[in-house]
Structure 1
Amino acid sequence: MAIDKTYATAALAVADIPDGASLAVGGFGLSGNPVQLIEALLAQGAGNLSVVSNNCGVDGWGLGILLEAGRIRKMTSSYVGENREFARRYLCGELELELTPQGTLAEKLRAGGAGIAAFYTRTGVGTQVAEGGLPQRYDGAGNVVQASSPKDVRTFAPGGTAAEYVLEESIVTDFALVHAARGDRHGNLVFNKAARQFSPPAAMAGRICIAQVEELLEPGQIDPDAVHLPGIYVHRIVEVGRNIEKRIEKRTVRPRPAEA
C-alpha cells in the first residue's frame, strides 16, 4: 500500500494542534522558519503553547507572530536576543523561558527523537546551567519568581582524562513544525544550508512532525544519499511553493579593502 503523507494546505496540517500543546520548531535565526505552518497555527487559534526552538523569530515574523498574539506560554531556546517583544514579555512575567546552550539544545532534541532519555555533557558545568538559579519567570516588578533547578553532575574519564559532566534530559514534544527545500510524498526531506542546523533534530523530537516543503516530489525522485531526514520521522507534508518570502535577520556590509 502506498504511503502518501501529503496534506492539501497548511491549515489542514495543523488543524488538530490543541491548546497547551508542546512544539519543536525548526529554523536557525530566520533561516528555515516554517512560516506558513506558523501562520496557519495563528489562524487556527491554539494557545498556551510550550515551544522549543533555537530562537523565537523576530518582531512580526516567524514565531514572533505567535508570541505577539499571546499564544506562547513557555519558550525553551538558546538565542533570544533579536526580539524586543520577547524581552518585554519575559521581564514582565508574561513568558516563561528555559535558556539552554545551543549545542545542548540540539542534542536534547536529537536524543529525544532517537529514544535516548538523557545524556551527560561538559557544557554548562560550573555555571547556573548546572548549579541552578537561571531566571525562568519574573513577576511584574522584576523579581525572579521561578528559577532553574540544580542538575546532576558526575565525573567521567573518556579517553582517560577525568572531568565533570552535567546531566541533560532529552526533549520530546507533541508536534514538530519544520521547513525543507524539498520533500517527497513519503516524507523524506532535504534542507538548504543553515536550515539544516536545527530542523532535523526538531523534526525528530516531535511525536507528530509536520513539514512544509518548497518542492514536493514523487518517491524515488530524491537520491537516497541526498536525504537529510528520512520519512520515518515525518508524518505530514504540505507544499508551499518556491515564491514564499524569506527574510534576513540582520544585514551586515563588509567594508571594501583599502587600495594599495
Structure 2
Amino acid sequence: MLDIAKEAASQAGAYLQERFLERLVPDEELHNDVKLPEDKESERRIIEVLRRHLPGHAIYSEEIGMVEGDEEYLWIVDPLDGTNNYFIGFPYFSVSIALQHRGEVVLGVVYNPVAGQMFWAEKGNGAFLNGRRLAVNERDDLTRAVGTYIRGRNTVTKEEEWAFTRPFALNTKRLMRNIAPALDWCLLANGWLDYIVMQRSGIMDVAAGILIAQEAGAIITDWEGNPYRHASFSADHFPSLVASNGRIHERICGLIGG
C-alpha cells in the first residue's frame, strides 16, 4: 500500500509541477481560499491509482468528498496542499495521502514535486525522506527555535490569529505561516523546524504529516499537554495541537494564551 500511495503522489505531483509555471486561471476566488482546476485534476489522478489497485477501499478527498467503499480502509487525500501558494507561484506545496485502518492512521505520504522530496512513514516503522530515515532535532534553546503556525481556513479569524501568535513571535527566533501544513509537519520531522502550533485546522490537511512527524520522534499534544490520539476521521474535526522536538515542548505550551 505504501508503494501505491507513492505512485499516486508521484503521478499527481508530476502533473502539478508541469502546470506550476503556467499562468493559472482559478475556478473561483474566495476570501480565504482559491479553487483551481489543477486541484481537481490532481485528485482525479490520485483516485484513479487508488481505485485501480484497491477498488474496495473508501477515499475521502478535499474536492470530491467521500468515495464510498469499505471504510475499514479509508484513504485521506489532499490533492494540492498549499493551493494559494501554488496559485501565486510560491514553490511550497505538496500532495498529501494518508491511510486510516480501523480508525488509526497507519501510512502517510507527502510529496513536494518542486524540491523532489518524497516523505513517507508507516506506523511503527519510522519516517523517511527519499529513503533516508528522519529524526527531529535536539534544540533546547527557545530563543533559537523556529516554528510554524497552522490555522483553520474558516475556523480562525485574523484577529484571533494575531492575538494567538504574538507570544511565539516574541519569544522564539521565528514563527512562520507557510500555508501548506502537510509540508510543515515534514520539516519538523527532518529537524528543519523546532515546533508547530496548530489552531483549529482540519485533519485532512495534516493526517499524513502528523504520522511522519510522530515516526520521526516528534512530541504531539493538545494545548493542555495531553498526548495526541488520532480520532477516526471526520471532515468536521478541527483539532488544536502543539508539536515539537520534545526538548522545548512544555515551554511552547506555556506560551499559549501568554
Q: Which range, TM-score by smaller chain?
A: under 0.3
Q: Which has the higher helix share?
A: 2
Greater RCO structure (CA 8 Å; 6+ sep): 1
TM-score, scaled relative to structure 2: 0.26
Larger Rg: 1
TM-score, scaled relative to structure 1: 0.26
